Structure 1
């Protein structure tokens, strides 16, 4: 079955504006995608990274200064010692 009245010139004139509108919309969306992609790849945000200048790294506190943080005891029992029964104290090292 074919169309009863086909006038290609008339159809071309009537469809020119909608086709140009569709092309303009596609180009705008494409330009927006390129802008967004460029923005995301030029300055990516890394999870866990603190924003700010890298030059401002704080120095650790000097040895012997109070920091307000308690530290673990200087000596811990090694794997060769076992606690004495009921005292919670390590026994003498095994020979």
Structure 2
């Protein structure tokens, strides 16, 4: 499947066959879209994540998290990271 080309997918009995088939499907998809006058999307690039996140939360939740972090003997950032890691 090619995520940028809606509905463009293929398969094969081996990885090599699947790769050949998806390239053929991509070419046919683009040719058909061009002939029909449809927009051909540009390929998206992979997103790079910085590891930083800015998040505004209610004051009461902030206080609750800070209290729990203090009881655990860690910073609020460390506590939130631990909670999110467990949830993910």
Using the size of structure 1 for normalisation, the TM-score is 0.25
More relative contact order in 1 or in 2 (CA 8 Å, sep 6+)?
Answer: 2
Answer with 1 or 2: which has the greater Rg: 1
Determine which structure has the larger helix proportion and give its number. Answer: 2
Using the size of structure 2 for normalisation, the TM-score is 0.27
